[in-house]
Each structure stands twice: as structure tokens, then as C-alpha cells.
Amino acid sequence: GSSGCGGPKGKKKNGRNRGGKANNPPYLPPEAEDGNIEYKLKLVNPSQYRFEHLVTQMKWRLQEGRGEAVYQIGVEDNGLLVGLAEEEMRASLKTLHRMAEKVGADITILREREVDYDSDMPRKITEVLVRKVPDNQQFLDLRVAVLGNVDSGKSTLLGVLTQGELDNGRGRARLNLFRHLHEIQSGRTSSISFEILGFNSKGEVVNYSDSRTAEEICESSSKMITFIDLAGHHKYLHTTIFGLTSYCPDCALLLVSANTGIAGTTREHLGLALALKVPFFIVVSKVDLCAKTTVERTVRQLERVLKQPGCHKVPMLVTSEDDAVTAAQQFAQSPNITPIFTLSSVSGESLDLLKVFLNILPPLTNSKEQEELMQQLTEFQVDEIYTVPEVGTVVGGTLSSGICREGDQLVVGPTDDGRFLELRVCSIQRNRSACRVLRAGQAATLALGDFDRALLRKGMVMVSPEMNPTICSVFEAEIVLLFHATTFRRGFQVTVHVGNVRQTAVVEKIHAKDKLRTGEKAVVRFRFLKHPEYLKVGAKLLFREGVTKGIGHVTDVQAIAAGEAQANMGF
């Protein structure tokens, strides 16, 4: 829905559900303007204009969910569960497919449920997951820190999730590559180990089971869960804390063994997650080892601790696939919800509920990371440029750091000759509604009045004048080659993505080597072919050319002053 509606209107219809499920309320909470959940009553044969509007809206929801959105079909904006007859539902899903195709996304049906409004026709609501990997990323990345006592069965659980059926004896070696990858991305070595679990765009698990290599998992996944395994050592608690803060995990998984309950470092880990403001969920493991009553006792003990004044959490026990879907969505919307899973890594009981949860869980904005970014100078990445009648030039994109307010004076660039031009932000909109203040990490459109649109291009940045932005056409990056068909050597051309910058660059030099092979790491000097760009040291980088793919980060930029740009680019 495009209009934010207040609350429920009119009388509540009775919400009896077929199949004796009387506990489903006939209402969802009203649709939020921001966030990645969209309610749609129906999408039957939209006009061309309406279709374009729907597509723009889908882009917005995907941007809000950083590549993932959930569509509830058959629901009014105010949350009323109306439901659609089969014919209309089929037509609506067909339109949704067309919309997704237009933006280059994939669609999976999460669940269908029936509603019953005293009618003879069965009416249904369908919940759909839309997923699109952003251009400058290889996959959506969700970082989950794993905390738990020494004997809680962490390695076993991670082993089962990431190896499929394989026992832990195998596959450990294959993770070496990943340790390197992460060391490259964070620039820190660590004794913290990483495990990966991929999901393809249909939501199926991609892991080491079919003896895939780490690269193959990357290749075929559209979403990657990186488990950061923070060892449960008591004496290393300080290192764990630093590890946890420097990797900025999206959320944490706290593992508790059903037979011991809250013991040892569990309390401290719980306190740690609370102190770092990392939303967490709990997995009670080893349920195959003890009686049902013991499991229930542990769950009750957890619920009691979570509800204490210091915690203020709302525990939510997950016992069905339906619960898992709901848990993932509520967990993303409110950090106070704490889902609790009870499972066994031995019998595999309820393991798939955890997988459903992880597949649907959208990347969360880490509040600590956001607070730090907001204190920096303003930097807005320009992704789209339009002209709007009576408004003038409008740019769409994401504020990567700082805060932006209406009336701010910023500079935009670099132009082809490497200059930055002054401009004023006339107004800001988020999802077609006016917004006074834009905060780091949020997407928005900014109106720039009569600023000449021809001077703008995608990949530019708008920054506060005191940032004194540096631009470069030559830069160095530490990279790892993930995938390569021919030899990667001097003179090779690749498309480089750094944030919103996307340009062809040529390899000028590979330090200490003449060529690179798959999996190798090196420092490489690149030169942009067309025009200089604004790059920051430490920025993550992805490059591709055909099947060649690599990732890394910028280590050095050869800054050029505005006037020299033309000479440098050979104009």
C-alpha cells in the first residue's frame, strides 16, 4: 500500500480461520512506511502507469531490506486480512512475477493461509519473499555471531548446518579460504573461526553437502549467512568482546544446552549481547538427550531471565514453520523479540525451522554501527537521477554516513574533469513521504531544485564541503581472486564496483607476482578508464569480468587535485 493508514477501520469482522485455527487474529499490525514489508490487497492487471509505480515501490522495499522484501498479498494497508479468491490470487502473483522480473529479483512463496469471512468461497493470503542481490555485491551477507558455553554443542550445530550430512572430520580444511576472505575484508587476523551457509534465490540451502567448495557456495548463493564462531573460552572473554565489536554482527545466536540450562559463560554472553545492543535469538540444543520436561524447564528458565528488568525481552517459542516465518519478521522489526528454538543436531529435530528462520531473516541495521556512522561527515551515494515536473532534478540513493537535513549545502562530484560542484538540498523524501532528517544507512530521494541534471551521473557522491574529498583514477587494492578462467595479469580489464561506483578499470601492476590464480591474494594497482572517482581507503571492492570474480578492499588512492584530472586521464 502506498498510503499509511492509521488503525483498523470499521467493525472487526470475525476472524475464524478454517482448520480450527481460531488463534490467528484477523489483523496484522498496520503497514509501516519504512521497512521491507509491503501489504497488497490485489495486483490484478494493473495499467502501465500503475505497474511502473508498483515497480518503483518494490525497488524501495528491496532497498529498505537491503535486497529482501516480503509481500503480503490479500491484506489491506491497515492490516485487515481480506484474502483473495483463487483466480484473483493467481493473477496477483503473476503481476508480482512481472514486477520482480523488471527489477531483476527472484520470488519464493513463504506460506499461504486461509481466512474465512462468512463466505462460501475459500479466500487466501499469500506471503511472498522477494530477493535481489544488489549490483555491487555478490550476495546478501548476514553476519551471525555464535555464543555459547563450551559444552553447548556449537561446533556440532554449525557442522550440521554447513556440512549438510557430513561429519565434522571433513570440510574443515575447505573453510581455510573463508578465513582468508574474512581477514581480507576486515583487515584483521583472528582466532575466530568462520562457517558459511548459503541460500539460493529459491530459499534452498547451499552448503558443503554435495562436496562443493567455498567458491561454489558463493557462486550459487544469493544469500550467505556467515557464522562467526566466538569460542566459549572463559579466559578469552575480552578477545571475544573485541571480536564481537569489530565484526559488527547483525545478530547473535546464543546456544544453550537443554540438559544443563543456563550455566558457565551463558549469563555473561547474554549480558554481552545486551550490552552491545546486538539482537539475539536462542537455540536450545541436545533435546534428544533429555526428557521433554527437562527441555520445558530450560525454556521456562530462559523465559524468566529474558523477562527480567535488565533484559526486557519478549521470548517467542518457535514450534512450527509458521512460527519461524513470523519470528523472522518480528525479530527484524523489533529488537526486543527473542525467538527460542529447541532442536537436536543428532536427530535433526526442528533443524529445518532454524533454516527457514535464517533464510527469511533480513539483514538488520546494526544500531551501534549506525550510531558511529551518524557522527561522521555527510556522504550521500547517488544511484539514480530523475527530473520531476515542478520539483526539478531529483537524486535517489543511500546516505552512507552522517546526517542530512533539508537546506543543507553540499558538494557533488567528481565531474568528468574531476571537480566538485556546490548544491543545496531542497527537500528529502523517503518512500514518497517528506522526511526532515536523513540518517546514515537510510535510502531516500533528494530534490536539488534547478541543478543541471546533465552534470550528474550514477556513482557520484554528495558530501559536506569540509570533507575536502579526494578523487583518483589510480588506486591500489588488496584482493583475492575467487574465480578465474584465463590468467589474471597486467593489462587485464575488469568492471570494478566500490559502493555505488562502477567503472571499467585496467590492471596496471600486480605487486610481487606476474599473474594471479584462483584463491590467491595480492595487492594490485588499477586505473579507471573513463573518469576519476571518489574512493575511500578501506572501502570494500568487488570486480568481475565474465566468469572472473574477486573481492578485496582499497588500500591506497593516488589523490589528484581537481585541475590535474584532465591531464591524468589523457585528455
Task: Locate the domains of the chain by residue range.
Answer: 37-132, 140-364, 368-463, 471-560
Architecture of domain 368-463: Beta Barrel (2.40)
At residue 400, the pLDDT reads 84
pLDDT of residue 11: 36
Q: Nearest-CA neighbor of 37 among 365, 333, 268?
A: 333
* Over residues 271-285, mean pLDDT: 82
pLDDT digits (tens, 9 = 90+) for 434-471: 788 888 877 788 999 999 999 998 888 999 998 888 88
pLDDT of residue 5: 35
Question: For 37-132, CATH number?
Answer: 3.30.110
Average pLDDT over residues 373-378: 88
Name the 3-class secondary structure at 358. helix
Higher-scoring residue by pLDDT: 513, 20: 513
Q: Which of 4-13, 212-221, 405-414, 461-470 has the lowest mean pLDDT?
A: 4-13
Show the cell assigned to 331: 525479530
Question: Which of 15-24, 151-160, 379-388, 538-547 is least confident?
Answer: 15-24
Mean local confidence (pLDDT), 495-518: 87
pLDDT band at 127 (very low <50, low <70, confident <90, very high): very high
Per-residue HEC secondary structure of 178-227 comes to HHHHHHHHHCCCCCCEEEEEEECCCCCEECHHHCCCHHHHHHHCCEEEEE
Query: How far apart are the C-alpha atoms of 49 and 42, rounded to whole Å?
Result: 16
Coil, strand, or helix at residue 239? helix
> Are residues 128 and 74 in contact, defined by beta-carbon separation less than 8 angstroms?
no
The average pLDDT across 534-547 equals 81
- What does the pLDDT look like over 393-405, one tens digit per residue? 999 888 888 999 9
pLDDT of residue 187: 36
Nearest-CA neighbor of 229 among 315, 143, 346, 288? 143
Distance (Å) of CA 226 to CA 217, 340, 498, 511: 12, 20, 21, 30
| CA distances from residue 517 to 423, 497, 504 in whole angstroms, order as listed | 46, 21, 21
- The model's pTM is 0.65
Task: Report the C-alpha gap between 185 and 365 in whole angstroms.
Answer: 19
- Look at residue 559 in the predicted model and tell me its pLDDT: 87
Q: Which of 13-17, 220-224, 506-510, 534-538 reaches the highest mean pLDDT? A: 506-510
pLDDT at 562 over 60: no
Q: Determine the average pLDDT of the residues in 177-184.
A: 42
Q: Look at phi and psi of residue 509 and say left if phi exceeds 0, alpha if psi is from -120 to 50, else beta.
A: beta
Mean pLDDT of 412-431: 89
Q: What percentage of the chain carries pLDDT values higher than 90? A: 31
- Looking at residue 7, its pLDDT comes to 34
Question: Is residue 189 pLDDT above 50, yes or no?
Answer: no
- 402/269: higher pLDDT: 402
Residue 525: pLDDT above 90? yes
Model pLDDT for residues 290-333, shown as the tens digit of each residue: 899 999 999 999 999 898 877 789 999 999 999 999 999 889 88
Q: What one-letter code names the amino acid at 277?
A: K
What's residue 197's pLDDT?
A: 85
Angle at 149 between CA 148 and CA 150, to 5 degrees: 120
pLDDT tens for each residue of 52-111: 999 989 988 888 787 889 999 999 988 888 899 999 999 999 999 999 999 989 999 988
Higher pLDDT, 336 or 90: 90
State the pLDDT confidence band at 13, using cuts at 50, 70 and 90: very low
Per-residue confidence (pLDDT) for residue 536, from 0 to 100:
86
Q: Which three cell numbers stand for residue 495?
A: 568492471
At residue 192, the pLDDT reads 58
Q: For 153-174, what is each residue's pLDDT tens digit?
A: 777 787 778 776 533 333 343 3
Q: Is the CATH number of domain 471-560 3.40.50.2000?
A: no
Q: Does the domain spanning 140-364 belong to CATH 2.40.37.10?
A: no
What is the structure's pLDDT at 499? 75
Q: Do domains 368-463 and 471-560 have the same CATH topology?
A: yes
Report, as an integer, the average pLDDT of 357-366: 79
pLDDT confidence of residue 475: 96
CA angle, corner 539, sides to 534 and 541, nearest 5? Answer: 95
- Of 233-247, 302-316, 348-362, 398-412, least confident by mean pLDDT is 233-247
Q: Give the per-residue pLDDT at 505.
A: 96
| pLDDT, averaged across the chain | 79
